[in-house]
Structure 1
Amino acid sequence: MTYLSRVRINPLRAASRTLLANPRALHGAVMAGVPDQAPGDRILWRLDADHPRRPVLLVLTPAKPDWTHIVEQAGWPDADGEHYAIRDYSPLIAQLATGREFGFRLTASPVQNTSTPDKSSPHRTKTAAELHHRSYRIAHRTAAQQLTWFLERTPRWGFTVPAARTDVPAPGLEPSTTDGPPAQEVRITDRSRRTFTKPGTRTPVTLTTATFEGRLRITDPDLLQTALLGGIGPSKAYGCGLLTLAPLPSGQR
Structure 2
Amino acid sequence: MPYLSRIRINPLRAASRKLLASPRAMHAAVEGGLPGLPEQARTLWRLDPDNPHRPHLFVLSTGAPDWTHLVEQAGWPGADGDHYAVRDYAPLLQQLAPGRSFAFRLTANPVQNTSRPDKPTERQQSRIEDGVRRRGFRLGHRTAAAQLNWFLTRTAKWGFDVPAAPHLEGIGGADNEPPRDIRITVRQRRSFKKGAVTAKEAHVVLNAVTFEGRLRVTDPALLTERLLGGIGPSKAYGCGLLTLAPLSERE
Task: Name the SS of the counterpart of 1:87 in structure 2.
Answer: strand
Task: Tell me which residue corresponds to 2:239.
Answer: 240
The structure-2 alpha-carbon separation of the partners of 1:130 and 1:91, relative to structure 1 and needing over 3 Å to count, comes to farther
1:138-163 superposed Cα distances (whole Å, 9 cap, x missing partner): 00010000000000000010000001
- How far off is 1:134 after superposition? 4.5
Task: Tell me which residue corresponds to 2:217.
Answer: 218
**TM-score of the superposition, structure 2-length normalised?**
0.93
Task: Tell me which residue corresponds to 1:227.
Answer: 226
**TM-score of the superposition, structure 1-length normalised?**
0.92
Q: Distance in 2 between matches of 1:63 and 1:57?
A: 17
Q: Can you give the 5+ residue segments of structure 2 that lack an aligned partner in the other structure?
A: none
The structure-2 alpha-carbon separation of the partners of 1:178 and 1:102, relative to structure 1 and needing over 3 Å to count, comes to closer
- How far off is 1:32 after superposition? 0.6
Give the partner amino acid of 1:74. Answer: A
Q: Distance in 1 between matches of 2:156 and 2:188?
A: 26
Give the partner amino acid of 2:133. Answer: H
1:80-103 superposed Cα distances (whole Å, 9 cap, x missing partner): 000000000010011010110000
2:199 maps to 1:198: no
Task: Tell me which residue corresponds to 1:18.
Answer: 18
Give the partner amino acid of 1:58. Answer: F
Task: Tell me which residue corresponds to 1:85.
Answer: 85
Task: Tell me which residue corresponds to 1:155.
Answer: 156
Task: Tell me which residue corresponds to 1:8.
Answer: 8
The structure-2 alpha-carbon separation of the partners of 1:196 and 1:248, relative to structure 1 and needing over 3 Å to count, comes to same
Give the partner amino acid of 1:154. Answer: T
The structure-2 alpha-carbon separation of the partners of 1:163 and 1:12, relative to structure 1 and needing over 3 Å to count, comes to same
Matched-pair contact (CA < 8 Å) for 2:168–2:178 = no
Q: Distance in 1 between matches of 2:43 and 2:159?
A: 21
1:118-148 superposed Cα distances (whole Å, 9 cap, x missing partner): 1121123335648632411000010000000
Percent identity (aligned)? 60
- How far off is 1:250 after superposition? 6.1
The structure-2 alpha-carbon separation of the partners of 1:209 and 1:217, relative to structure 1 and needing over 3 Å to count, comes to same
2:174 maps to 1:179: yes
Task: Tell me which residue corresponds to 1:136.
Answer: 137
| Structure 1 moving runs of 4+ over 6 Å | none
2:250 maps to 1:251: yes
- How far off is 1:194 after superposition? 1.2
Out of 115-124 and 1-10, give the one that drifted further: 115-124
